[in-house]
Amino acid sequence: MKVLGKSKAIVIYGPPGAGKGTQADLTANHFGFVHFDTGKYLESLIYSPTHKKNAIIKRERNLFETGKLMTPSWVLSVVKSKAEKIAKAGLGIVFSGSPRTLYETKNLMPLLEKLYGRRNILFFVIKVSSKTSIKRNSHRLLCTVCGSPVLYLKETEHFNVKSKCPFCGGKLFRRSLDKPRIIKKRIEEYDTRTKPIFAELKKRGYRLFEIKGRAMPFEVFENIQKHIYN
């Protein structure tokens, strides 16, 4: 783990299956930052038994289960609160896929600038084709025990739900969200609601880097590292 002189706020974008979570984990572990996996955090909220009957949570859960983006204003309030706690602890933060809309971006940036400084905010866009996105997601497996994803690689293409987790031996499963029909909807949402963010960020002078996502995870991470150190 390498600790930088100043904490940073890093945002990693990419369509479903681009490897955002994997790269955010690698970045957080390497630099001593916190990976705020917005998707997992929001998913834990909408499926929490405590909030089961809450009308707002029901609305957000329905959007999530149909492959649509959740309500930006609600997501923003959750993300802001969490980001402030991480920054106040003196830690850098890595977002994987959030903020996902122009609304969230415009309203989150002032806070991140206040917490980390404009120069210490970096954006990365991992680029993969729709075909690759659908293929990776429809073959993606997760472990029921340790939660680790089994990446779709040449070495793991024979894995299925009857296989054992290569990390802990646990049972593997596929998420209902990883059906081709829902993946296509998620890609459509990414193209229409998230991609417009990139032009806006460049216009405002933020540092944004495009990374080729077809390479092996460690190669993608090497490219990300170079920009963080510079």
Three-class SS of the chain:
CCCCCCCCEEEEECCCCCCHHHHHHHHHHHHCCEEECHHHHHHHHHCCHHHCCCHHHHHHHHHHHCCCCCCHHHHHHHHHHHHHHHHHCCCCEEEECCCCCHHHHHHHHHHHHHHHCHHHEEEEEEECCHHHHHHHHHCCEEECCCCCEECCCCCCCCCCCCCECCCCCCEEECCHHHCHHHHHHHHHHHHHHHCHHHHHHHHCCCEEEEEECCCCHHHHHHHHHHHHHC
Quick count: other Cβ atoms within 10 Å of Cβ 126? 25
pLDDT of residue 40: 87
Residue 174 Cα distances to 148, 160, 177, 185, 193, angstroms: 12, 9, 8, 18, 26
Kindly report the pTM of this predicted structure: 0.84
User: Quick one: angle between helices 72-88 and 102-116, nearest 10?
Assistant: 10
Tokens of 202: 């460049």
Q: Give the whole-angstrom CA distance, residue 208 versus residue 215.
A: 19
Take residue 145 and report the two structure tokens written for it: 């025990």
How does 130-140 read in b/e, with b if 16+ C-beta sit within 10 Å?
bebbbbbbebb
- Where do the domains of the chain lie, and which CATH numbers do they carry? 9-130+186-229 (3.40.50.300)
pLDDT in tens, the chain (230 residues): 444 446 899 999 999 999 999 999 999 999 999 999 988 899 999 999 988 889 999 999 999 998 888 999 999 999 999 999 999 999 999 999 789 999 999 999 999 999 999 999 999 999 999 999 998 888 889 999 998 888 777 788 889 999 999 999 999 998 877 888 889 999 999 999 999 999 999 999 999 999 999 999 999 999 999 999 87
pLDDT recorded at residue 3 = 42
The answer to whether the beta carbons of residues 122 and 8 sit under 8 Å apart is yes
CA-CA distance, 209 to 206, in Å (whole number)? 10
Give the pLDDT score at 5.
43
pLDDT for the residue 82: 94
CA distance 78 to 99: 11
